[in-house]
């Protein structure tokens, strides 16, 4: 996971490299994501960059990874014997799915109060996100040397989504130290694509882990670098 986070952070740097700037903020902290209708939130961490255009407007990019969470409901499929002499020839098998979130987010922020560099300020703006979900199912209750899962009972899958969001928060900048910030946001998925039927099952309202409407919370620290 650490290697993937470094790659995604590098992608943010490259994506923002075309913008000329004399100051850049490096951000890091903890995150939480709550899907609408989901009983439990996903905890995670984030890293990002923020570039002020002036004291009232900035552009930002952030990579957030929310750790894997297990579904509370089991799924059921059938295992088929590898040999016709095995009895019984088919058996029921249960499995438990889990899913994580990796979000690449970018947008614009507008500051009110003391502004980007100093003291207290509130901020808000809009953003677009690319969301990657890794889905995994662990099946139990059968001997893999004698049985194999029927076609379509995949063990791994993924979901790719594009989302639009709105967010806002507050920050406090301490001269010579850095900035503490807290923000929250609401994102809605505009389109999505699942890699297989097992991943697509997470969209089910009856026990699926995926929600197209997401609330997110972030608490972190920003350190500004001058060039």
pLDDT tens digits, 47-83 = 999 999 999 999 999 999 999 998 877 777 888 888 8
Give domain limits for the chain: 2-226
Q: How does pLDDT run across 111-162, given as a tens digit for each residue?
A: 999 999 999 999 999 999 999 999 998 888 788 888 888 765 668 899 999 9
pLDDT at 38: 86
CATH number of 2-226: 2.40.160.20
The pLDDT assigned to 149 comes to: 82
The pLDDT, as a whole number, for residue 2 is 46
pTM of the model as a whole: 0.82
User: Are the C-beta atoms of 121 and 95 separated by less than 8 Å?
Assistant: no
Burial class, 54, CB count within 10 angstroms (exposed 0-12 / middle 13-18 / buried 19+): exposed
* β-strand partners of 99: 69, 135
Q: Let me know: does 137 contact 200? Beta carbons within 8 Å.
A: no
In the numeric block, which tokens belong to residue 91?
């058996």
One DSSP character per residue, 55-118 reads: SSEEEEEEEEEEEEEEEEEEEEEEEEESSTTSSSSEEEEEEEEEEEEEEEEEEEEEEEESTTTS
Asked if residues 192 and 157 have their Cβ atoms less than 8 Å apart, the reply is no
What's the mean pLDDT in 215-222?
97
Q: Report which of 39, 29, 38 is spatially closest to residue 64, judged by C-alpha positions.
A: 29
Residue with tokens 């899913």: 99
Q: How many CB atoms lie within 10 A of CB 132?
A: 16
Q: Of 10-19, 87-96, 186-195, where does the model show the most confidence?
A: 186-195
Residue carrying the six token digits 């379509």:
152
């Amino acid at each position: 996971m650490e290697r993937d986070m470094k790659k995604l952070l590098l992608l943010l740097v490259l994506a923002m490299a075309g913008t000329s700037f004399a100051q850049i903020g490096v951000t890091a902290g903890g995150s939480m994501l709550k899907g609408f209708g989901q009983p439990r939130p996903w905890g995670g961490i984030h890293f990002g960059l923020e570039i002020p255009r002036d004291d009232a407007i900035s552009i930002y990019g952030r990579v957030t990874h929310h750790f894997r969470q297990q579904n509370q409901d089991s799924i059921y499929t059938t295992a088929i014997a590898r040999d016709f002499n095995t009895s019984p020839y088919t058996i029921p098998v249960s499995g438990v799915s889990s899913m994580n979130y990796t979000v690449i987010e970018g947008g614009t922020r507008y500051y009110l109060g003391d502004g980007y560099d100093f003291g207290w300020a509130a901020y808000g703006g809009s953003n677009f996100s690319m969301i990657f979900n890794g889905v995994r199912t662990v099946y139990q209750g059968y001997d893999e040397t004698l049985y194999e899962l029927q076609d379509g009972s995949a063990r791994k899958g993924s979901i790719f989504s594009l989302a639009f969001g709105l967010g806002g928060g507050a920050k406090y900048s301490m001269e010579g130290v850095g900035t503490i910030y807290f923000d929250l946001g609401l994102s809605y998925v505009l389109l999505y694509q699942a890699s297989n039927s097992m991943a697509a099952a997470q969209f089910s309202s009856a026990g699926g882990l995926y929600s197209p409407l997401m609330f997110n919370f972030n608490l972190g620290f920003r350190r500004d670098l001058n060039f």
